[in-house]
Amino acid sequence: MGAAIIALVLALGLMGAGAAGATPHGGGTSTYPDPIGDVNGAPDISGITVSDDGAGTLTFQVAIANRPVQTPGMRVYVSINADKNFGTGAPNSGGAEFELEGTQAGGELHAWQGGPTWATISPSSLGYSYASGATFRVKESDLGGVTSFRFGVATLEIDMSTNPPTATGDFAGGSQEFVFPKATPKPKKPKPKKKH
Ligand SMILES: [Ca+2]
Ligand SMILES: [Ca+2]
């Protein structure tokens, strides 16, 4: 690659990053919308933002329109198909190798063991918080070093006040239909001038 082309690529990259400052080395930030009002009273996912800080940490932010505070019976799941292969990992979770789970008590990280069993590995670096949605922070090294993967998000809320208890929830991304990072559209190239 010639120096001029490298300079052009760098310029286009900086244009793509806009005013956000330094371009991260990782996958940057991708957003995934989910409709509001597609669940009947359940914790309603309105969108997901995934970001890679370029220093080995992934953040998953799951916005939940109708639950400013996490209720005791409510769980938020992010299932991660680390190898993007539907034929490996948990067959009931779209081929996920890892699953993040957030409850009122905090966050957990589960790793598929086959069998079929999950192991809870929950590294100390795992972060979880909730404010009008769930935020998970996890190191890529705790997910087998992935920087690109498929994932899906779900909520589940169990209402113990009914007999029998009722479970409702929302799904976003179905069976791992979201891909991180999203392919970003290439910036339009300026039309080459015809005259020399
Ligand atoms: Ca929704
Ligand atoms: Ca898999």
> Mind listing the pLDDT tens digit for each residue in 40-49?
899 999 999 9
Q: Model confidence over 161-183: pLDDT tens digits?
A: 889 999 999 999 877 789 999 97
* CATH at residue 120: 2.60.40
Q: Is residue 54 part of a domain?
A: yes
Count how many domains the chain has: 1
Q: Is residue 47 part of a domain?
A: yes
Q: Which two tokens stand for residue 43?
A: 């914790």
pTM of this prediction? 0.81
Q: Is the pLDDT of residue 3 over 50?
A: no
Q: Which two tokens stand for residue 94?
A: 């779209």
Domain range for 42:
25-180
Q: Is residue 17 part of a domain?
A: no
pLDDT band at 27 (very low <50, low <70, confident <90, very high): confident
Radius of gyration, CA atoms only, the chain? 20
Q: Is residue 188 part of a domain?
A: no
Q: Is residue 8 part of a domain?
A: no
* Distance in Å, CA 149 to ligand 1 centroid: 22
Q: Is residue 73 part of a domain?
A: yes
User: Higher pLDDT residue, 1 or 27?
Assistant: 27
Q: Is residue 16 part of a domain?
A: no
What average pLDDT score do residues 34-58 get?
95
Helix or strand holding residue 130 (H, E): strand 127-130
* Distance in Å, CA 86 to ligand 2 centroid: 5
